[in-house]
Structure 1
């Protein structure tokens, strides 16, 4: 493992997803899941999210679309929160999910809309 890339990834992951969530994920890892936590932190967050080519705002929009396409509700919820932390607006999230309805299917988009509505309610966003 590249410790510097892991450390940079951990910092970004904590900023985007929230320190509490990330710390809980890492501290809750056991011998079976720890390698995955290390891999995700080093590769996804350390090698990709730290690249200068796209701002975090854009990366969040892309993640919401891709996770909708893959129909991954747990990750959608996590990344809606991350997108909000990255300055993505409620209207931008709505537009991403409308776009995914056309290209990924209405059922997947409906699920993402439902999850987003729950996140907005939890965060007190009207």
Structure 2
């Protein structure tokens, strides 16, 4: 895998999700999953997130919708934080999740709102 692509992806990943998350993901305790982390960094965070066709706010809104639809609460939590870092406000996060509740189902929407409330509460304590 191309180290430049990995490094570019890691920079973008840190800008969106925070340096602490990247350091934890790539830390010594993650040796087993390092190949996956490098794949995600190179392809997801570099090849996709660094494309010029959509801005980061839009990519974040899309991710919130997809992660809600896929019922991935841990990733949703990370990407709610990323969406805020990318300039979405809480009202915009709320609107994305409301739309998801209609199109993905009320249980998915309820879970997504729970994750959002928990995430907002944690961020307020930090």
Q: Flag whether TM exceeds 0.5 (same fold).
A: yes
Range that drifts further, 51-60 or 2-11: 2-11
Task: Give the match for residue 88 of structure 1.
Answer: 88
Q: Over aligned residue pairs, what C-alpha RMSD do you find?
A: 1.1
Distance 1:62 1:14 in 2: 19
Aligned-pair distance for 1:5? 1.3
Distance 2:42 2:16 in 1: 15
Structure 1: stretches of 5+ with no match in the other structure: none
Distance 2:59 2:17 in 1: 13
Task: Give the match for residue 3 of structure 1.
Answer: 3
Aligned-pair distance for 1:118? 1.1
Distance 2:115 2:47 in 1: 28
TM-score (normalised: structure 1): 0.95
Q: Alignment length, in residue pairs?
A: 124
Alignment of 1:58-77 (within 5 A): 58-77=58-77
TM-score (normalised: structure 2): 0.95
